[in-house]
Amino acid sequence: MEFYKTPNAMEPLYPDGEIRLLENLAIELIEKSNRLEGTMNPTTRKAVSEFLRPMNSYYSNLIEGHDTHPIDIAKALKKDYSNDKTKRDLQLEALAHIQLHKAITEEITEIDSAIIPSSSGFLKSIHKRFYDHLPEEFTVVKSKEGIEKHVIPGEFRVDEVEVGRHIGPYSGSLISFMDRFEEFYNPLSNDNKSKIRRIILAAASHHRLAWIHPFLDGNGRVVRLYSDACFLYEKLDSNGLWSISRGLARRNTEYKSKLANADLTRYNDYDGRGNLSNKMLIEFCVFFLETAIDQTDYMYKVLDVENMLSRINAFTDLMVLRKRLRSEARYILEDVFLKGKITKSDVERITNRSEKTAKNITDTLEAMDLLRKTKEGIHVTFYVNYPVNLSPMFFPGIYPGDKESEMIRAV
């Protein structure tokens, strides 16, 4: 068995030759992510992005076959864990991912952030922070020979791995592969001054990191969090309004086959100059960027103001019918969606109800997690909030249809 031992085995690291299509996709992603970000006031945007964090974790874990029901994620966020061990483990995994994604978002968007997404230090810290919070069950892998091995949080593997038909580079050489990865994909390097180039690098590096497979397990989740970090770094994430993992999960079979194709060595002299196929790397990058653009388009439609307002009304009508809300609640929900927050006196004014009745309505909305109350001195302000369990009512289609039907029935 011959292992890859030198980093030139992963060339090309950047697509070679005719890449105008990729450049155009990069430009389209810049435009579409900006357009999406501009659809909302910053306060509502922040609330929606918090609401979407569990979705991001749901889809990244789903790609690995861990299908955690969004209802169970919603419960886990309220520290309500299942008695069923399998379910509880999945809940803990979801929480670990949600918290880590939040931490990464904060540290990359910090003003003086010194994080380089492609650095070994950062990638190891992602892996460590994820695995430190995983239940024991998820830290054991079985080799092909049936030997149990433990994943060490934040450490590169010391064993050899197979990913489909691809055999990862020799474990003893991982440091040199990862050093090369860090240097080549460093957004601050002199060669990477063009934003368009950096976006294409983000796509290419997603495959190359999966190809190196630096960890014994958890590479999929780490690679997708790395991609989240790249988009955050380039400010293409629309402040958290879309997720690459949702797109990859919905095209999971294609995702895996595009990854596998890009593992192949070059076909002939017309297929680039490196060890790996240039053509397949380009195809992977096209797939990756198209998936990203597709997600920004989708979220743009979901978050469209007219659509949102009509869903707010449909939700209120349903709740009125079930005697759980007063009809005036719609004005509050509309207002907080449009403005992000509303004061107590504004609530009384727009509902045209007494202080007592208005309080009744806001109490109910608070209990439904549709408002978040803050108090500063005598001033009470209500902030917009969206809970996972009501997701299909306000943002239909975000989770798979069968899951959403069950969520609607549970409302």
Ligand X SMILES: Nc1ncnc2c1ncn2[C@@H]1O[C@H](COP(=O)(O)OP(=O)(O)O)[C@@H](O)[C@H]1O
Whether residue 15 has a cis bond before it, omega within 30° of 0: no
Which residue lies nearer to ligand X by CB, 244 or 361?
244
Which residue lies nearer to ligand X by CB, 200 or 244?
244
Which residue lies nearer to Mg ion by CB, 181 or 215?
215
Which residue lies nearer to ligand X by CB, 260 or 286?
260
Using the rule CB under 6 A, is 164 a contact of ligand X? yes
3-state secondary structure the chain: CCCCCCHHHHCCCCCCCCCHHHHHHHHHHHHHHHHHHCCCCHHHHHHHHHHHHHHHHHHHHHHCCCCCCHHHHHHHHCCCCCCCHHHHHHHHHHHHHHHHHHHHHHHHHCCCCCCCCCCHHHHHHHHHHHHCCCCHHHHEEECCCCCEEECCCCCCCCCCCEECCEECCCHHHHHHHHHHHHHHCCCCCHHHCCHHHHHHHHHHHHHHHHHHCCCCCCHHHHHHHHHHHHHHHCCCCCCCCCCHHHHHHHCHHHHHHHHHHHCCECCCCCCCCCCECHHHHHHHHHHHHHHHHHHHHHHHHHCCHHHHHHHHHHHHHHHHHCCCCCCCHHHHHHHHHHHCEEEHHHHHHHHCCCHHHHHHHHHHHHHCCCEEEEEECCEEEEEECCCHHHHHHHCCCCCCHHHHHHHHHHC
Residue 259 interaction partner, one of Mg ion, ligand X, none, beta carbon < 5-8 Å per kind: ligand X
Enumerate the β-bridge partners of residue 172.
none
Shortest distance (Å) from residue 220 CB to ligand X: 2
Quick note: the x/- pattern for ligand X over 339-378, rule CB under 6 A, is: ----------------------------------------
Give the residue nearest to Mg ion (CB): 217
Using the rule CB under 6 A, is 167 a contact of ligand X? no
Give the long-range contacts of residues 146-154, CB within 8 A, separation 24 or more: 149/216, 151/215, 151/216, 151/217, 151/218, 152/216, 153/127, 153/128, 153/129, 154/124, 154/125, 154/127, 154/128, 154/129
Shortest distance (Å) from residue 255 CB to ligand X: 7
Shortest distance (Å) from residue 214 CB to ligand X: 9
Which residue lies nearer to ligand X by CB, 258 or 311?
258
Residue 63 interaction partner, one of ligand X, Mg ion, none, beta carbon < 5-8 Å per kind: ligand X
Quick note: the x/- pattern for Mg ion over 200-239, rule CB under 5 A, is: -----------------x----------------------
Measured over the CA atoms of residue 34, residue 35, residue 38 and residue 40, the dihedral's sign is negative
Residue 363 has which token pair? 């109490």
Using the rule CB under 6 A, is 220 a contact of ligand X? yes
Residues 16-75 that bind ligand X (CB under 6 A): 63-64
Shortest distance (Å) from residue 172 CB to Mg ion: 22
Which residue lies nearer to ligand X by CB, 157 or 330?
157
Using the rule CB under 6 A, is 218 a contact of ligand X? yes
Residues 188-217 that bind ligand X (CB under 6 A): 210-211, 217
Segment contacting ligand X by CB under 6 A, of 85-93, 158-166, 174-182, 193-201: 158-166
Which residue lies nearer to Mg ion by CB, 217 or 335?
217
Residue 129 interaction partner, one of ligand X, Mg ion, none, beta carbon < 5-8 Å per kind: none
Using the rule CB under 6 A, is 223 a contact of ligand X? yes
Quick note: the x/- pattern for ligand X over 237-266, rule CB under 6 A, is: -------------------x--xx--x---
Residue 21 interaction partner, one of ligand X, Mg ion, none, beta carbon < 5-8 Å per kind: none
By rule CB under 6 A, what count of residues binds ligand X? 17
Give the residue nearest to ligand X (CB): 220
For binding to Mg ion (CB under 5 A), which residues are involved? 217
For binding to ligand X (CB under 6 A), which residues are involved? 63-64, 163-164, 166, 210-211, 217-221, 223, 256, 259-260, 263
